[in-house]
A and B are shown apart, each in its own frame.
Chain A
Amino acid sequence: MSTTSQKHRDFVGEPMGDKPVIALSGIGETLGKKLEEQGFDKAFVVLGQFLLLKKDTEMFTDWLKDATGANSRQAGSCAQCLKEWCDAFL
């Protein structure tokens, strides 16, 4: 609880359901828009990508950086968020 943001905790605390992609930790308006343009309009689609990369945070971070121009912090935060979500619910 010490180093995670509220958004992170919000996301990881419950099944994501139909949450939009901006509910992911590290994804704000800009990045969210970019993701949506590529077809990742919901958080679960991004989850799908994460799972496709075999839940490898590094690869996912790379992908996210390439796909949206996210910086390391944002991408890492998103990866971590998804990873924890998977640990909790998958």
Chain B
Amino acid sequence: MASAQLTDEELFSQLKRLGFTPGPVTENTRPVYLKKLKKLREEQQQRGSRVLKSRASTAVSTAVSIAAPRPSRHDVTQLSAIRKPGRKSSVLGFSSDESDAETPLKRKGLAKHRRITVYHQQLAGPTDKQNIAGTTLNSFSSPLDHQSVHESSRHYDESGDEGEEEPENPHSVNGREVTGLNKTAGEYSDSDEDGVLSPGDRERNLPEPRRSRTAAPISPSDNRDSQVKGKNSSPNPPGFRKMVRAEDEEVNGEELDPFGGSQRYARKSIYVSLAEQRGAKAGKNHFDSEDGAARSNSGARFSVGLRPRFSGYSSPAQTHNKGNHSNHSPPPNHAYSPTAPKKKLSVPEDELLLQFRREEPASSGSFSAHYLSMFLLTTACLFFLLLGLMYLRMRGSVEADGVIKRHPFGSEFDQSYAEEEKELILTLLLSLHNHLAVVAGQHDCGDPQHPNRSLSMNQSATYLQAQNQEFERFTLVALEWIIRTDQELGLRLLGEDPHVPVTDVSEISQLESTRPRMPFTCRLRKAFVTVGSKVLLVAAAAAMVWGVVRYLKFRWRRQEEETRQMYDMVERIIDVLRTHGEACQENQDLLPYLPIPHVRDSLVLPQDRKKMKKIWGRAVCFLSANESRIRTETQRIGGADFLVWRWIQPSLSCDKANPMPSKVWQGQAFPLDRRNSPPNSLTPCLKIRNMFDPVMEVGENWDLAIHEAILEKCSDNDGIVHIAVDKNSREGCVYVKCLTAEHSGKAFKALHGSWFDGKLVTVKYLRLDRYHQRFPQAQACSTPLKASSLRLSSTPSQQQTSSAS
């Protein structure tokens, strides 16, 4: 659209319809907003075309109808009047029908659904008026409707400035931009239609078609609205408007048509935008339309309250809009909705929105994926189960010896007997074998019926006879054959003496099966028991090994700790002795040696003495063995013999020089004023940089030294509650948390720009939540830390005195 045609208000409402809340349009901001409008429209067009393709046009019709009822504020009074009630009813009438339609639509989900439902509702409502719109819309492809409905729902949100689009009633349109109805209906239909009709249709710039579509005055606005992507389900008009706007946007490609003429354009754009924007822009449009609609309509239909909701919904719904649009929209919506929103609509809207919202996450592409995974899992489980069962069954079932078919007796057997005799013999053996197997199995399972695992000859004979009379003849023969054969048949013939192999049939007294066939449950039970015991064994072994390992580690660590403590003690003793030695030098009255117990008692706190006894002992031994500057001797002090230490003054005094560079504060580099520090302390957390170089640090507890240094530097500040030295940072970062921002400000002033250990320290503020993320233990700290009073080692004066021996 030619910018010349746009007044400030039009531009404003247009932008609002697209879901973007602009600031005041002045001579300076005008060009910016024009550019923005163009951009938004292009986006809408893209979205609209995408949407169109995907959806049926039923939405369109509904949209249309909805649009109709929606009085695009500016329009037709009666329409508006009718629309209002219609709208309400439509909104109320909306049930979750639309949601079903919406569900497949995975776009912005919530807003969309809402819109569509609202849309449909609206459509359902004032049908009379909307008929006009409906018819027009219907004329469009019905598939579009559906889609447009969806889209329009989307557009709902966006349609803001329906009025803008109407060139015919610039004022009314402008005034009533908000009426969502127009937008919704129009948008729906428009969008759908546009989508279906494709840009060609857009050329319908005639107000009539639009009017018919929108059924009423709204049409012009509708056209506009159609541009809106989809009306939020919220206020009907907004939705409709959105559609219109969507259309518009689509058409925007060819320069914003005059709004007036853009009626059809708006409509089409709605469709197109619905279709196109459905895709990427859906979110954006949603938002835009929502915002726009909300804004413009705010007065009209939807309560302001709805708007924030929509905004809320839109935001989660992926909006392509620039963030700022979204951000801006909600607030302005409120601001811009001049007329009191229809509260009644808000309630059902809310519920609808909620419905949609919940449905939204449910329906998604992952739905099928979830089921698929479950299905696969159950299949695998079943498969393995079956496999196990089959295996067990196989194991359990004694394979038919196949004696019937094949026998282990060799060809000799075949030759000696006739066929049926052979069969008899083999059957006999088979049944005997099975019976024995059962007996043995049951015996093994602990069945009290069979105390013996084996059957005596008589029992076997009786059994066989019971099976088949004919067996009697062949019993002995069969047994003889068994003896003759070398193969393992699963039958064992035992004589009087179990260990002597049976050589003759007459010797047989017991028959036993070597392959017991146990009942299934018994087998299962045994299997479980076996497996379980084995697993337990393995687990026990592993646990033992693990326990041993842990114990060893613990021991090792403890030893290390003790050694460290010992060395620490040794150092302290040396220091004490050294100072004493130095003092002795200056003051000749002092004895040049110190009794060991005295040293111990002065170094170790009373409550620790018992604990440190062992360490102390080790330290003493270490000193006597390894320390050349200290001599252990026995002296008589005050009438009692003491083991004493004498500090032997070394000839060189470099020994005392600290090998480590002194960690001291060395002054301030620059005065802190407003230029190089924030005027007010922003957060209670500080990040201090360049306090150390992790590569160069030696010793174990240099980080404690850093702690101390910081605490000493801020000794006047009793608000530091947590210090953390990042040992691995190349920048030498230390994190500090204070009680309040004020304390951190003081610490900042004390630390920032100071020289420490030859490095220039810088401080900056950190966000409290980030700090807590990083150091969760700091959340609980609330007691101010104090520098340990042992040594103020980080202040220069002390260092120098100590080093000067």
Contacts and interface: CB of A to CB of B under 8 A. Distances in A.
Nearest to B21: A54
A81 to B, nearest CB: 14
Given A54-B21, A58-B324, A10 B675 contact: yes
A66 B764 contact: no
A66 B32 contact: yes
Interface stretch (B23-31, B40-48, B480-488): B23-31
A63 B28 contact: yes
Contacts of B23: 51-54
Interface in B33-91: 35-36
B679 A13 contact: yes
B675 A66 contact: no
Contacts of A59: 32, 36, 324
A56 B328 contact: yes
Contact of B324 (A13, A38, A52, A56): A56
A13 B676 CA distance: 7
Interface string A29-71: 0000000001000000000010111101011001100110000
B674 interface: yes
Nearest to B677: A13
Contacts of A1: 762, 764
Most chain B CB inside 10 Å of its own CB: which residue of A9, A13, A51: A13
A13 B679 CA distance: 6
Most chain A CB inside 10 Å of its own CB: which residue of B23, B675, B676, B764: B23
A23 to B, nearest CB: 13
Nearest to A58: B324
Contacts of A54: 21-23, 324, 328
Interface in B10-28: 21-24, 26, 28
A52 B22 CA distance: 9
B322 interface: yes
B761 to A, nearest CB: 13
A54 B256 CA distance: 25
Nearest to A62: B32
B29 A53 contact: yes
A67 to B, nearest CB: 7
A10 B678 CA distance: 10
Interface residues of A, number: 19
A1 B32 CA distance: 31
Nearest to B28: A49
- Chain A binding site: helix, strand, loop or mixed by DSSP? helix
Contacts of A49: 28-29
A66 B56 CA distance: 43
Interface in A1-32: 1, 9-10, 13-14
B131 to A, nearest CB: 42
Contacts of B322: 58
Contacts of A14: 674-675, 679
Interface string B234-257: 000000000000000000000000
Contacts of B678: 13, 88
Contacts of A62: 32, 35-36
Given A1-B764, A49-B29, A88 B675 contact: no
A52 B28 contact: yes
A51 B674 CA distance: 24
Nearest to B26: A52
Interface string B762-793: 10100000000000000000000000000000
Nearest to B32: A63
A61 B675 CA distance: 26
A52 B24 contact: yes
A70 B100 CA distance: 51
A10 to B, nearest CB: 6
Contact of A13 (B32, B36, B675): B675
A88 to B, nearest CB: 7
Most chain B CB inside 10 Å of its own CB: which residue of A9, A56, A62, A88: A56
Contact of B674 (A13, A38, A63): A13
A67 B30 CA distance: 11
A62 B674 CA distance: 31
Contacts of B28: 38, 49, 52, 63, 67
A82 to B, nearest CB: 14
Nearest to A60: B32
A25 B645 CA distance: 69
A59 B20 CA distance: 12
A67 B322 CA distance: 22
A45 to B, nearest CB: 10
Contacts of B764: 1
B547 to A, nearest CB: 51
Contacts of B21: 54
A38 B764 CA distance: 38
B465 to A, nearest CB: 104
Contacts of B674: 13-14
Most chain A CB inside 10 Å of its own CB: which residue of B32, B676, B680, B762: B32
A66 B28 CA distance: 10
Nearest to A40: B28
B414 to A, nearest CB: 99
Most chain B CB inside 10 Å of its own CB: which residue of A9, A13, A51, A54: A54
Contacts of A58: 322, 324
B676 A9 contact: yes
A25 B28 CA distance: 21
A52 B679 contact: no
Interface in B658-678: 674-678
Nearest to A87: B682
Interface in B632-676: 674-676
B678 to A, nearest CB: 7
Contacts of B36: 59, 62
Contacts of B680: 88
A66 B35 CA distance: 10
B689 to A, nearest CB: 9
A63 B27 CA distance: 12
A13 B677 CA distance: 7
Given A13-B676, A13-B679, A59-B36, 15 more contacts: A9-B675, A14-B674, A14-B675, A38-B28, A52-B26, A52-B29, A53-B29, A54-B23, A58-B324, A62-B32, A62-B36, A63-B28, A63-B32, A66-B31, A66-B32
29 contacts: A1-B762, A9-B675, A10-B675, A13-B674, A13-B675, A13-B677, A13-B679, A14-B674, A38-B28, A49-B28, A49-B29, A51-B23, A52-B23, A52-B26, A52-B28, A52-B29, A54-B21, A54-B23, A54-B324, A56-B328, A58-B324, A59-B32, A59-B324, A62-B32, A62-B35, A63-B28, A63-B32, A66-B32, A88-B679
Q: Which 6 interchain pairs have the tightest Cβ spacing?
A: A63-B32, A54-B23, A56-B324, A52-B23, A14-B674, A13-B674
